[in-house]
Amino acid sequence: MSGRTVWFALALVVQGALLAAVPWDREADESSAQTIWLKAKAGGDRHRDVLRGEYINLTYDISDPAKFAEVKPAIGAELRRGETAYAVLQEMQPGLWTGLRIERELPSDLPDGQAAIKGEWSDRGEQIKAYLHREADGTWAADSIITGEMDGSFDHDRGRDKALASAWVSRQAISYRDIASYFVPQSERRRTEEDLLAHPDEVVVQVRVGEGGSASLLQMRIQDRVYDF
């Protein structure tokens, strides 16, 4: 057998081994992954990706460090914008996972019933709006205050004794890029929009958490209706 034939045969063997390893790695990833449900909120604005189509932005309760059960006040001083942070989660309600604590490094040997998702520390600007009215003594008082996006009904019946005030504040948050967007299938677009308008506080998403804190979207559920990703 010539040298050229030997090298050709070895190349085929190596290529076959690489191809065979792909499904093996996929099965290993599947077996080590956890599937969890997270409370989410969908933004009112719609966005469009040239390749993948229309999508909505998703934010989570676990995006707010103050909502974690074991809050570490010093974590905000340790982390800088853009640095990696790991959210350790626990199933504190049946079928729903919430934030337990925030770590700078990926935790090892987490007990059953806990998972860690990789995120990015950020400082978000958030708009606060207040609907005001003038008191009899000339001072102003707030009727209602909202944060984030404002629907049309909030800015109503403004007159001489009513006003709308707004301000921007900075707050710390954790962003999760891989699960931050839900691409809406064309066939489901209208129904999705109707569900989000009717049930804005009843959105949960199913997430697959893999090794290293990776996360991917599987489903979104709005009240009783399920949308596959």
- pLDDT tens readout for residues 59-78: 899 998 888 988 776 666 67
Walking along the chain (229 residues) 10 residues at a time, the average pLDDT comes out as 52 48 44 85 65 76 89 71 92 89 90 93 73 83 67 55 71 87 78 81 92 92 83
pLDDT of residue 28: 40
218, 182 contact by CB (below 8 A):
no
* Owner of token pair 């009843």: 202
Say what the alpha-carbon torsion angle 119, 101, 201, 169 is, to the nearest 10 degrees: -70
Residue 207: closest CA among 98, 124, 102, 93: 98
DSSP 95-130: TEEEEEEEESS--SSPPTTEEEEEEEEEEEEEEEEE
CB atoms within 10 A of CB 215: 23
pTM, two decimal places = 0.65
Residue 183: closest CA among 156, 214, 217, 148: 217
